[in-house]
Structure formats: structure tokens, C-alpha cells
A and B are shown apart, each in its own frame.
Chain A
């Protein structure tokens, strides 16, 4: 038994398209313990989805490549594992919940058959009757009456479909769920239902989860650990308390917090982060956020390392070095 469920070290992911090379993930380190919930926060192009897809080795074939680093999932070196081994792990050790429930389900198969399919692949030894019973159990678990399993995806609403997707993801009791923006396509009230369901199931089943989102509110509601990504790099890592209740944040994280329109505070103008995400087709030496950062100095043009600002809370920024030096 390993101590950590998932260990990613120095991961790099690149996309080769007919136009250019996109450096999606650059030297990412990440750990998830058994039963732990990690929030992976970042905006479009931060490399969140690429990270999740590399974990189960499902980067788009012929375009996306892991170009460096190592991924160890439940003691298995995912980058060296055979296709057969990977197949046996996908769905059983780690499974994924996608953003869009409409396209994640096959429109010509009943939802029951779709849940059954995963079970059949990973438990071929069990009898049909046992598997059917498990399908019923899963549907009840996500709050859908089991007698609806003969229905097709289009007969369900968006929120119901996402429940089915969750049922499929959980059917084989995976140790890790990769949830890629699972609530972004849903309405707020349905999102709240879904987050409640995911939270509840995760606690009951003891599954670890990486929740990928751009919404800090969603992270606050669900996650124990948080990692903030910017332009393919982890820039901040810590417990939820470290990120949400602190005055030492990476300037980008700080900017994200300020840019969110708040429900519980009065303010007229928002503090926007000026500028745009760094160009992902160019390799940058120094801090990737420097061009948009109001604290940027010459030092930021050099390569930035992760620094521990308090126990377990690490930040890729030299801002707090200076303060410590001044004291």
C-alpha cells in the first residue's frame, strides 16, 4: 500500500497541431491522498483538463503527448503501463466525469445499459443478475428511481443526465474520480444539487476526487486541498484554509478572488486582472503571470520555484521572499 493515491511529478504535456506546438502543462507536481478532495482551479488554458486526461492517459491521440515527468496512480506507473493495464484501470481505479452530460452519454443506449456496460467490462465474472442489481443500486444512489433504467438519455433533463454520468463514474467504486467542470453546464440550483450529491457520495464511499473548476465558490463548498494553475503551471498549493483564509496568496489567486462579483459584499467596481493569459505556444522562463502582475519586478523574469510560505502552503512567487527578508 502506497501512502499517496496519485503522485504527479514534473509533468509536461504538449499538443502538436498543424499550426504550432502548445505547451499545455509545464512541470506540474501534484499529490492526492486516499479519500482526499483536491480542487484544481484555473481559467481557460491553465492546463487543468490536460492534467486530468494525462492521469488516465486519454490525451487526444496523435495530438496530445506527455513529454516529461511521471504519474503514479495507486502504485502503478501510468506512463509505462501497457494499454491493457490502462484499460483495466480506467473506470475501475480512476474514472472521469465530464463537463457536458449531453455528449457524455450515448443517445441510442438506455441509461441502464450504459451503467451495466462499465460493470460488465470490469466484473465479467459476476452474473447478469448481480450486475443488474448493482445498476439499480447505483441509480437509487444518485437519486433516480431504478425503474427509469430502461429510458434513453433524451428522456432525462440536464441535471438527471449528470446524475447518470456520476452513477457510471462510481459504478466500479473507483479510488479516484476526475471531475472536469462537472457543474459548469448546469443551472445554479441544479449545480447546488449536484455538488451536494458528489460531496455526500464521496464521503460515503471514501473516494478521492480531483475537482477541476474555474469557480472558487465551488471549491470552497467541496474541497480540502486546493491547487491553483496558471498557464500550465501550479502557482499555489495548500489546504482550503490556506487559500481561502489567508492574506498571503499568489498575486494571481488574489486577483481571481477580487475579480469575482460577490453576493455578500457591497462594491461597485470589480478589480479586474489586466491583460490576457500568456501565449501557450511560447516557452517562458520566468513567472508566467509577470506581465499581468502589479507586483512584478525584474526578479520575476527569472525562473520561479515553489516556496513554502507557511506549513503546507506553497506559492510560486518571490513576493513573500522580499517581505521575509525585510523583517
Chain B
């Protein structure tokens, strides 16, 4: 683990036009990711975590704020300037069947980036490179000519990982890479991702709704609610001392496979996500928060460092 910052977001915002207003998908997010570490982004559906991942890769244009990659501002680069940097960043998708072109064989899928960047010398080298990638992600060579729909979910996700690794990137956005998989396969893929990080020093942003998964793989965790970061801390700190009521609620809601923990879900969080379209100023969680007072509404609450490295945006904690 180095201390070099690879990716930095400064007051990053992404709004979409929707229903006559502005949908605040990502609304003023700040973070720094050190090289070789994993930032876990947790939140429920609609909290903007997937949008954040895509904005970081510049798949969407940025509404406001800055993205710094390895010290370079990539916020307003055009496609041509972006191309050499794109080779260093990749993405692993949630739905392996949706992210693999159904008309391409495994070999073609993994080889696509190699072809685009012409990163091989002759056919033999191309085949060797693909064989090596397939070995790295644990795919048997016999599947090289198969189509993705002929394989099961776990193997499909391995193809997705293989394609992401083809150009030896240093930064990978993992957008819910295991949510579509069965538990036993999920563990295989998580282990693979962790092994790859150790071997190649990869930097991940791991987007998920599953706190127990993110706990395993992340060094730091950012909890998002309606486009904003409500809590940001090192993994151990966050789980030892969750401060934001939303984080606490999320933790309480996870069903634990043990009879002793059975009474946990008695403190269930009320209500559901409020609308992300033109949200009123103030704490966006206030409508569901058991501790909310009048003070929480009307004025935005800044993310504040409560302990070294532990940031929370909640009036109760401050």
C-alpha cells in the first residue's frame, strides 16, 4: 500500500434532467483513493452510487466539480485526450450477461481492448495473451470459443473481469460485480478480485448495496444517501463505530445468519427513499431519521471530520 493518491474527486456533481426538475444523482462528493486500495461505496438503489462510478470514468459528463486521475484533471478532457488514460481505468459490471456482447466469443470479448490498442505482435502473441488472461481469471482454455450465454453466471463474470484486465489497468470500478451471483460463486469472485489486487496492486472502487461484502473487500468505505456522502471512514472504524443514523440503520437491517442475532431487526428503519429530484436543503435523511429535529432541515449539513479519518454529516454527532 502506497500513500500516492490515484483518484481524487472534488465536490463532484452530476445532475440529470428529469420530471421537470434536476435529479441530483451525485451531489457534491469528495474523496481521495490511495493507489492499491479499495474504496467501498455503499447505499441503497437510487443513492447515486452507480452514477458516481460512471462519472469517475467520464462515461457521463460532469455537471460540476473535478476529477483528478494521477494528478491530472480529466474533468473536461475530450475523447482523444482521454483515450490514453482510459486504457488505465476499467469497469466490471453488475450483470455479466448484459455487459457481454451476445454475438462475440469469449476470445473476442477478452481480446477487444487488445485489438483496439493494437497491443500485440502477431496472432501467436495475441492468442498467448488471451490464454494468459484466461488463466489469471480462472477460466478454462476450453471456453475460448464459447459464447457468453453458454456459460453460467460465475464464468461470465470472470470473462468481464478478464476483459477489464486485458490492458493491465491500474484502476477498476466494480459496479455490484457479485450481486447477480449465487453465494458460493460470489465468494469465488470476491477472492479472485482480492488476489488480483494483491498481485497487481490494483485500485478499486467497489460499488455495492451489501455491507457485508464491502466490509470484506474495502479499505475505506463511503456511505451514500440520495447523492451525498453521509459517512466516510476506514472500514474498521466504520464498523466499530458507525455514527450516522443511516449507517446504523443499514447495519441493523442486514439479516445475520445466526439465531443469536435474531432480535436485531426489531429496530427497523421507517419509510423509504425520498425523491432525488430537486431535494430541499437540509439533511436528506431527516424524513426517515429517528433523531431528526427541526434543526436538521433548511440548511445543508457539511461532512465533518469527527475523528481522524472518520467523516460524518449529521447534526446529532457534531
Contact = CB atoms under 8 A, between A and B. Distances in A.
A and B in contact, CB less than 8 Å: yes
Interface of A: 43-44, 157-160, 187-193, 195-196, 214-221, 240-241, 244-245, 255-264, 267-274, 276-277
Contacts of B210: 188, 261
11 contacts: A43-B184, A157-B272, A188-B250, A192-B255, A193-B270, A244-B257, A255-B184, A261-B190, A261-B215, A272-B188, A276-B152
Given A221-B262, A276-B152, A193 B268 contact: yes
Nearest to B183: A259
Contacts of B152: 276-277
A272 to B, nearest CB: 4
Given A192-B265, A214-B183, A276-B152, A260 B212 contact: yes
Nearest to A42: B182
A151 to B, nearest CB: 15
Contact of A188 (B155, B253, B272): B253
B282 interface: no
A192 B254 CA distance: 7
A26 to B, nearest CB: 19
B153 interface: yes
Contacts of B188: 272-274
A195 B190 CA distance: 28
B134 to A, nearest CB: 16
A149 B311 CA distance: 43
Contact of A195 (B191, B209, B211, B255): B255
A219 B153 CA distance: 24
Nearest to B46: A187
Contact of A43 (B155, B182, B213, B268): B182
Contact of A257 (B212, B250, B257, B259): B257
B273 interface: yes
B45 A273 contact: no
Contact of A263 (B191, B194, B254, B272): B254
B87 interface: no
Nearest to B186: A259
A244 B182 contact: no
A269 B266 CA distance: 31
A277 B151 CA distance: 12
B254 A245 contact: no
A256 B268 contact: no
A263 B265 contact: no
B261 A220 contact: yes
B187 A159 contact: no
Nearest to A185: B45
B272 A217 contact: no
A264 B256 contact: yes
A192 B269 contact: yes
A196 B250 contact: no
